[in-house]
Amino acid sequence: MPGMEGELVVKGEQSTPLYFIAIEGVIGVGKTSLAKRLADYLGGCLLLEQVEENPFLQHFYQDRRAYAFQTQIFFLLCRYRQQREFLQRDLFRGPVVSDYMFQKDRVFANINLSDSELDMYNQIFTLMERDQPRPDRVIFLRATVDTLLDRISKRDREYEKEMDPEYLETLAEAYTYFFAHYTGAPVMVVNSNELDFRRDLSLVSDLWKAVIEHRAGTAVYNPPSD
């Protein structure tokens, strides 16, 4: 285990326990798969976003403009409630690995909401964000739009079957911009096009080593060469 007694310790002159690791990226990039593998590797708790519980999501993909606000607010409230309840209960039982972070909620809001909707959303978000824990480390997964579409197709969710490639491209650019300016925690950027964390446990352990050794700013993960 990388840590002791439920703590993931970064070794160095000032050792710091890591409790909360967030994995982020665009739809279909592999967040949940990596979160499950990493939580298992660390013997930690797994926090997964409750995407399919959103009753507006299918309508959103059919008409983004008409259902953007309802979809966004449902996700915001769900993420707020889930993270507060889960992390208050499990933060001291060991590391928590999540396949999302609360702070990224604004990425979707800025893309999909009108100016008046965004103003109301921002007021709510600002109040809620105060009570949300920030991750100790962020793993930001990236992939090409072709890779994303292929993975989305393979998981065969009904509401994602007609995913707009231009929307995915817009999301990818927004995520890249967000994490280029994110300063809340060290960020490890991972190009996931050719990596399969589900099948190769050595990749998980190697990535984790790189994550805990990265102390500040943004770095790019380079997998071991064959």
Say yes or no to pLDDT of 130 above 90: no
pLDDT at position 92 is 58
Nearest in space to 61 (alpha carbons), one of 179, 171, 192: 171
How does the average pLDDT of the chain come out, rounded?
Answer: 85
| Active-site residue, 115 included | no
Q: How confident is residue 3, by pLDDT bands cut at 50, 70 and 90?
A: very low
Domains of the chain, earliest start first: 3-220 (3.40.50.300)
Looking at the chain, the whole-number percentage of residues with pLDDT higher than 70 is 88
CA 50 to chain centre: 12
pLDDT at 164 over 80: yes
What's the CA angle centered on 218, arms 138 and 30, to 5 degrees? 40
Q: In this predicted model, what pLDDT tens digit does every residue of 6-17 receive, in sequence order?
A: 344 443 433 445
CA distance 187 to 177: 13
pLDDT digits (tens, 9 = 90+) for 76-114: 999 998 887 776 665 556 788 999 999 999 999 999 999
pLDDT tens, residue by residue, 37-76? 999 998 888 999 888 888 898 899 888 899 999 999 999 9
pLDDT in tens, 175-213: 999 999 999 999 999 998 888 787 778 889 999 999 989
**Which candidate in 99, 115, 136, 164 is catalytic?**
99
The pLDDT assigned to 159 comes to: 76
- The pLDDT, as a whole number, for residue 91 is 55
Whether residue 26 has pLDDT greater than 70: yes
